[in-house]
Structure 1
Amino acid sequence: MEMKSTYEGDLMKKSLAIFASAAILTSLVAAPAQAKDVKLTGGGATFAAPLLDKCKGEFATATGDSYTYASLGSGAGRSGWDKGDFDFGWSDTPHATPKDPNTIHVPVVAAPVAVIYNVPGVDEQVNLSPEIIAGIFSRKITMWNDPAIKKENNKQIKTPIFKTQKIKTKVKGKTVTKTVIATDKKGQPIVGSYKTETVEIDFPKLPIVVVYRSDSSGTTGVFTNFLAAMAPSIWTKPGNNDFTATFPGQINDAANFGALQGAKGSEQTVPLAGRIAGSITYAESAYAKQNNLPVAKIKNNAGNYVAPTAAGVSAFLGSATTNPNGSLTLDYKTTNPAAYELGTTSYALVSTAYKDAAKGAAVKGLMTYILNECAKKFPETEFAVIEGPLKAFNEAQIAKIK
């Protein structure tokens, strides 16, 4: 069974390793000279919004330019980009047929999609396998005390513990110390140790309520691509940005009434889950923190249970391959013992031929700033600091913006 999620099937793949020695690219994307007080408009994926919102003020202070970002969903990001509504669009899944032939993707942010739950009485962090997640979201598993869930959470498990380092950066004009993941020369997170523990979680007899994205959602695309790749015997349809289209069953079946609830945007799905006892949903992990909801550890191909962190995502993306339009093909066969396989990049949609040169320069400056500064300044959002070959690939893409 092929277990790679290929967004652009007819595109040639290039190994990220090609870019590891391309240090010359750094000079190509030095912060560009640009007109000051350029006001940019962007919109699209809710996934990227927590980091983009945090970084607005810092970018304006550092460059004199500014941006607004409308968190509308990846589908709206792609369509808005095509209509010319934005100076930069955003989508968690690649734009297969952009109207502007000069469109390129810049995978400038990376973060985990978290499985977020609300189970009263369960204080421990829940552990789930891809098969159990697929079973829950396909409505084959409908109760929290299902034997499969109980078995997964009453046994010995192993979890990677990543090394961290302190860095100094400026936020709101003040020098602050932040804790980030330590990486090796290839940009991969360093695992300090593996923690082995016996978990014993008692689950209530409580119906599961699935909360899904009802809009065209790149986060849904990433999530269901993961399910289709990792649990194909259960999630039998290809991944799709439309949850109702990829759902492997009759979503309007009477048995699903009330047990499947949709809402637009992660800004709505996660708070909705917070109001429903027994609920489960998926979103970028920053939304779980904003709503004080727990996230599950997910079993990877090596058999380890990994939390949705920037480090686990970096470990996963290390085996991804690149495509000529700037998109990535994620490797769901990876056996990296530290990988969080429900991680992803999210793509800025930009042009190599802006009609307004000042805007083109400002967009280039923004992408450079996001790549080099934003995740370092706000590690609490769990966006990965992109290093190594993936950073070099981003630099090459940014250099094309004009």
Structure 2
Amino acid sequence: MNLKRKIAFIATVGVVALSAGSIPVRAASTIGGGGSSFMANITDICASGYNKSTIANPDRDVVSYSSVGSGNGKKGFSAVANAGKEPDFNLYKFAGSESAYSTGTAPIGFVYVPLIGGPIGITYNLLGVTDEISLSSTTLAKIFAGTITKWNDAAIVADNTARTVVTPAVTVTGVAKVAKSGITATIVRGSTTSTITITATKAAVDAGLKKSLVITRLIGANVKVVKTIKMSAKGSVIVPNAVGASYGVSLGGKIIGNLTPDVVTPAVTTVIGKTITLPATSIIVVSRSDTSGTTNMFANYLNKVEPTIWTKATNDAFSSAFPGTLPTDGSFQSASGNDGVSNYVKANNGSITYAELSYINERSLKAAKIKNAAGIYVAPTVSASADSLANADQDASGLVTQDYVTKTATAYPINAVAYGIAATAPSTNNTAIKSFFSYFLNTCAPASAAGAGYTALSGAFLAKSLAQVAKISAS
């Protein structure tokens, strides 16, 4: 082989080797998931990013997601249409849902993976009302139970009336008197100054004729001589009031004692909230027409915090969770998906519904502040949702239990955690899903969730979710 041919051969081999590094390890899979509309917006973002990434997705898998509602997603993933087959071969290769399978409906060989959290906002359309309204859990439960039917109902008005709260004055009693060796020192606090009075017995005066009484001011580690006075039967010193100050009295280097004036914190009057004038408009409650994980989470909140009003256990179907018979007078309407209910509210004055924050923001709708267990009205935001979900618990199966009575002042109380549901049996498709879920949790959600109105999982919560991912396509 001559030199030119040898060089050409080596160059050709190098090109082949470099090209091989970008060739997929296996044939690409087309992965179609479906279910929860709550998580649809963030899932679309993550699927798009994953499909384009040659680093996270070297096999060029193509992931898509259909927003059909949690109930339809779970049904499409399970072995309903293909009895006896693995979930991997059904309508959806993975499902999305905020709720678990009900008893007797689950397939075999699957795992729940918490993928994303976020607030369920209470969004409404009320012409002429420009401020965001506030609702207590009791008022909210009564609205969705159909027992409050007008926007100017007394309960809603009470939630939206400014309240004056007076914090009473507090007095911290100091050390007003010290005595030693016949010398007594007292301090009396005035509005801007305090008066220190020194009295001494004759014996004490005689014993200290050649000595001076020294008064020092102590603030933290700082010591300053305020006054030096000659020893006598009586004397007084005026000292300025200073925050955190105490006063030392000594004679000839020997400490008589430390005086601390009373500290008075004055009463404080605070106006909480804002008075909003509400119209006598009829309320139209809008619920989901499809079986919905968002419905399940919202109804669960109502049942847990207001069980005497929302008396039924939660369900994916609003009509099944509703405490009674749904009114048929037009005051209750329904629509499919988070998109559908949000669109209805956008178009109809007087209407109110529950939806994931991203759908509310997309339509520039208002969302109510909800009173949490700490007694604070909190708006649905990503950070307020994170403060609430920090108190949630994820069990060994991946299912999440929320703490609806957390006293965290900044916590928004109505939230959901959406699960990716995937099969544990080894397969090419399931391996692709495992890769996508890892990308979702580790890369996409931390970068994109907050901007889209969702709460990314982090810390111990994230670690548990990744442990669930590890079970996919593994047994």
**Cα deviations across residues 164-209 of structure 1 (Å, max 9, x unaligned)?**
xxxxxxxxxxxxxxxxxxxxxxxxxxxxxxx985312111110000
Aligned equivalent of 1:49: 40
Quote the Cα distance in structure 2 between the aligned partners of 1:157 and 1:211.
34
Q: Secondary structure at the match of 1:362?
A: helix
What amino acid does structure 1 have at the position aligned with 2:157? K
Q: Does 1:218 align with 2:268?
A: no
Q: 1:124 to 1:372 in 2, by over 3 A?
A: same
Name the counterpart of 2:120. Answer: 113
Where do 1:146-295 residues align within 5 Å? Answer: 146-156=153-163, 197-252=272-327, 256-295=328-367
SS of the residue 2:456 aligns to:
coil
Compute the TM-score of the two structures, normalised by the length of structure 1: 0.78
SS of alignment partner, residue 154 of structure 1: coil
Q: 2:465 maps to which residue?
A: 394
Tell me whether 1:125 sits opposite 2:132 in the alignment: yes
Shift of 1:311: 1.5
Q: 1:102 aligns with which of 82, 104, 109?
A: 109
Please tell me the residue identity of whatever aligns with 2:304: A
Question: What residue number does 2:74 align with?
Answer: 78
- From 391, 395, 398, the equivalent of 1:326 is 398
Contact 1:157 1:305 survives alignment (8 Å) = no
Matching of residue 370 in structure 1 with residue 370 in structure 2: no
Structure 1 unaligned residues grouped into runs of 5+: 1-32, 159-194
| TM-fit CA distance, 1:94 | 1.1
Q: Which residue type is aligned with residue 425 of structure 2?
A: A
Looking at structure 1, the residues matched to 390 and 273 of structure 2 have their Cα atoms a distance apart, in angstroms, of 30
SS of 1:229's equivalent? helix
Code of the aligned partner of 2:143: I
TM-aligned CA distance change 1:157 to 1:88, over 3 Å: farther
Deviations 1:302-345 (A, max 9, x none): 11122112222222122222223211112222222222121120
1:347 deviates by: 0.8
Which residues of structure 2 form unaligned runs of 5+?
1-23, 80-89, 166-269
Residue 91 (1) aligns with residue 97 (2)? yes
**Could you say which residue in structure 1 is the equivalent of 2:368?**
296
8 Å Cα contact 2:294/2:416 also seen in 1: no
Task: Please name the residue that 1:138 is paired with.
Answer: 145
In 2 relative to 1, CA 79–196 (structure 1 residues): closer, same or farther, beyond 3 Å?
A: farther
1:58 equivalenced with 2:58 (yes/no): no
TM-aligned CA deviation for residue 262 of structure 1: 1.1
RMSD: 2.0
Distance 1:116 1:373 in 2: 30
Return the index of the structure with the highest Cα Rg. Answer: 2
Letter of the structure 2 residue corresponding to residue 372 of structure 1? N
Provide the rounded CA distance (Å) in 2 between the counterparts of 1:157 and 1:67. 55
8 Å Cα contact 1:295-1:307 kept in structure 2: yes
Give me the identity figure in percent.
Answer: 34
Post-superposition CA distance 1:30-79 (Å, at most 9, x none): xxx96463221100011110111122221112223221111000110110
C-alpha displacement of 1:401: 1.3
Count of matched residue positions in the alignment of Structure 1 and Structure 2:
329
1:361 equivalent among 426, 431, 447: 431
Separation in structure 2 between the aligned mates of residue 77 and residue 196 of structure 1, nearest angstrom: 48
SS at match of 1:241: coil
**Is the 8 Å Cα contact of residues 34 and 361 (structure 1) preserved in structure 2?**
no
Would the aligned equivalents of 2:162 and 2:271 in 1 still touch at CA under 8 Å?
no
Following the alignment from structure 1 to structure 2, what is the Cα–Cα distance between the partners of residues 260 and 292?
Answer: 23
Assess, with a 3 A threshold, how the Cα gap between structure 1 residues 65 and 196 changes in structure 2: closer, same or farther: farther
